[in-house]
A and B are shown apart, each in its own frame.
Chain A
Amino acid sequence: MPGTRAGFDLDLPWQLHPQVSVRPERFGALLYHFGTRRLSFLKSPALLTVVSSLGDSPSARAACRDAGVTEAELPTYATALGALAASQMIRAREAL
């Protein structure tokens, strides 16, 4: 599967899974997937900005850059996005 924790492909176009509902919170956001009935969270408002813009960005890397994520921070974001992909909260747009 694309985007397991080990290797999240930042250069692919991604999107929020259509069955996922996002609720902004002080610490970032809560995510609930109606298909898997799983809850997850985004631990920072910046990550929320990235996730919300995935669907309109040519790649995850672009979404991160537009949200002001620095080169040094990128691996952390890739890990976080990888975890979200592994739990089907986000998915590669080709998978449509």
Chain B
Amino acid sequence: MTVPALVEQFQYGLDAPICLTWELTYACNLSCVHCLSSSGRRDPRELSTAECKAVIDELERMQVFYVNIGGGEPTVRPDFWELVDYATAHHVGVKFSTNGIKIIPDRARQLAGSDYVDVQISLDGATAEVNDAVRGPGSYATALRAMENLAAAGFRGFKISVVITRQNMGQLDEFKAIADRFGAQLRLTRLRPSGRGADVWDELHPTAAQQRQLYDWLAARGEQVLTGDSFFHLAAYGDPLPGLNLCGAGRVVCLIDPVGDVYACPFAIHDSFLAGNVRGPGGFATVWRESELFTDLRRPQTGGACQSCSAYDSCRGGCMAAKFFTGLPLDGPDPECVKGHGEHALAAMGSTAAPRPSGDHSHRTQPVPVTISRRPPESACNESPLAGFRPGG
């Protein structure tokens, strides 16, 4: 098998990302407690329709296969459907994440008719009680209605995307049942301490015992359940889960935010991971190919404190964003290291301030939930385009 050689290739970066995440707006009708992009209010500097189309033209030239569109709630942009049509007409596939607010029956029928559009409905609890505690009142009903509309329109295999938390971990089978009921595919992703997620990570992130439970559950289901490759740090429990097991930040994936800023990963909205802006002279291609940050991320990395770990080949020290926003060194163990090294490192750090996300677009009127505040990310982690990657051939 030549898979390791290929992983090397990916590590050193590609001329164009395989897919990327594009957050079209910071505006959102919800205020999920764990929103990775601290969304709520629209940023007045948002890319215009014409600017978005120019980005799509560029992605077409670079042969980016598809974009994961998120936000905020992307469908609240008045030109959203126009941009989706424009992308697919230009051979850039679209997968968009939504809370379901605009997925009315007519729209669902249109979506069902396109091979180049995939829909991902966010749901963070298999019951209204668990879901609405993080995503807000009524959000469960909205998501379920969208699913019903898609299923009724004959859209097979849309995604139901769940951010795994301490509170919903006990509902794995129920989530699977919901997906089966709608002919949808379940996708579980990891909670990162990004955006507002930083404020609730302590209360929401799974316990060590729950991580083990999740690993066993996923391992038993193989490719039936998607994970966006986001749990590769769990590989240290045993066999790697399906996927390439690699942090793709700046190497095979990145984020374009609503104002055109390009970050290494959707979970890394911080000046330290800002590579440039699509409005710059060379556009997105130049940022991707020449930015100092991305060049740096593509250099061989040292495993630091993880180097001697037996699981290093598959875990590779885990998630860069999770380390960064918990204040841990980037070349050390993940805060959720299954060998417990992250916990120790966090404990040793005490309450030293971890870096804060660079932007906050939260609704100002939103009362900050104090009691058992719970917040999972609005759009799921799209970091790994390699999810479902088949190392065959």
Contacts and interface: CB of A to CB of B under 8 A. Distances in A.
Interface of A: 5, 19, 21, 23, 25-27, 30, 32, 34-35, 37-43, 47, 80, 83-84, 86-87
B63 A21 contact: yes
B393 A23 contact: no
A75 to B, nearest CB: 14
Contact of A37 (B2, B9, B388): B388
Contact of B393 (A26, A32, A43): A43
A44 to B, nearest CB: 9
Given A25-B14, A34-B66, 13 more contacts: A25-B15, A26-B9, A27-B6, A30-B18, A30-B65, A32-B93, A34-B93, A35-B115, A39-B18, A39-B388, A40-B393, A41-B393, A80-B393
Interface of B: 2, 5-6, 9, 14-16, 18, 63, 65-66, 91, 93, 95, 115-116, 118, 385-386, 388-390, 392-393
Given A23-B65, A26-B9, A27-B9, A39 B386 contact: yes
A38 B66 CA distance: 11
Given A23-B16, A25-B14, A87-B390, A39 B385 contact: yes
A68 B388 CA distance: 32
A47 B392 CA distance: 13
Contacts of B65: 21, 23, 30, 32, 39
21 contacts: A21-B65, A25-B15, A27-B5, A27-B9, A30-B14, A30-B65, A32-B18, A34-B66, A34-B93, A37-B93, A37-B95, A38-B388, A38-B390, A39-B65, A40-B389, A41-B393, A42-B393, A84-B393, A86-B392, A87-B390, A87-B392
Given A23-B16, A87-B390, A43 B91 contact: no
A76 to B, nearest CB: 10
A56 B386 CA distance: 30
Nearest to A42: B393
Contact of A34 (B18, B116, B385): B116
Nearest to B117: A34
Contacts of A43: 2, 5-6, 393
A12 B65 CA distance: 29
Nearest to A33: B65
Closest CB pairs A-B (n = 9):
A83-B392, A32-B65, A83-B393, A23-B63, A80-B393, A27-B9, A39-B389, A43-B2, A34-B93
Contacts of A40: 389-390, 392-393
Contacts of A25: 9, 14-15
Nearest to A84: B393
B392 A21 contact: no
A25 B9 CA distance: 10
Contacts of A21: 63, 65, 91
A35 B116 CA distance: 8
Contacts of A42: 393
A38 B157 CA distance: 13
A32 B385 CA distance: 11
A37 B118 contact: yes
Nearest to A79: B393
Nearest to B389: A39
A32 B389 CA distance: 10
Contacts of B389: 38-40
